[in-house]
């Protein structure tokens, strides 16, 4: 069974930094691109970042470029998102997502909540 389990969310003050992680299992992790998608309370999903299967290519949403870094460890089956200079508008549930054919998102974790508030 495909599983994506996020961790690392929490409450932090504006301007702070946080690293969220995802443990993948049940599929050959190294053959899939992976993404982070966030969803603010009561809002629609918003793509944040993508990393190719090898880790050599990354793409970022304009809203977060320069403040986030996505990375992966294929040996450990893990995905990470380092977030800096966090703002209240970054408050959201952050999902680890498998990127599938035609650049869709076919498998989602349960998410980890990040709350930015003073």
Partner 1 sequence: EIVLTQSPGSLSSSPGERVTLFCRASQSVSSNYLAWYQQKPGQAPRLLIYGPSNRVTGIPDRFSGSGSGTEFTLTISRLAPEDSAVYYCQQYGDTQWTFGQGTKVEIK
Interface residues toward partner 1, by CB under 8 A: 35, 44-47, 50, 59, 61-62, 95, 100-106, 108-111
Q: How far is the CB of 106 from partner 1 (least distance, A)?
A: 5
Return the number of the residue (64 or 116) whose C-beta is nearest partner 1: 64
Q: How far is the CB of 92 from partner 1 (least distance, A)?
A: 13
Return the number of the residue (11 or 110) whose C-beta is nearest partner 1: 110
Contact 116, 90 (CB under 8 A): yes
* Rounded Cα distance, 33 and 54, in Å: 8
Write the DSSP string, 15-31: T--EEEEEEEESS-GGG
């Amino acid at each position: 069974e495909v599983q994506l389990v996020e961790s690392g969310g929490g409450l932090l003050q504006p301007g702070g930094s946080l690293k969220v992680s995802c443990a993948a299992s049940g599929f050959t992790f190294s053959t899939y691109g992976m993404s982070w998608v966030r969803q603010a309370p009561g809002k629609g999903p918003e793509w944040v970042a993508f990393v190719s299967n090898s880790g050599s290519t990354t793409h970022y949403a304009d809203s977060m470029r320069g403040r986030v870094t996505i990375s992966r460890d294929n040996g450990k089956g893990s995905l990470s998102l380092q977030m800096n200079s966090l703002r209240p508008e970054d408050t959201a549930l952050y999902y680890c997502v498998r990127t599938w054919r035609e650049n869709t998102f076919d498998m989602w974790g349960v998410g980890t909540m990040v709350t930015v508030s003073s």
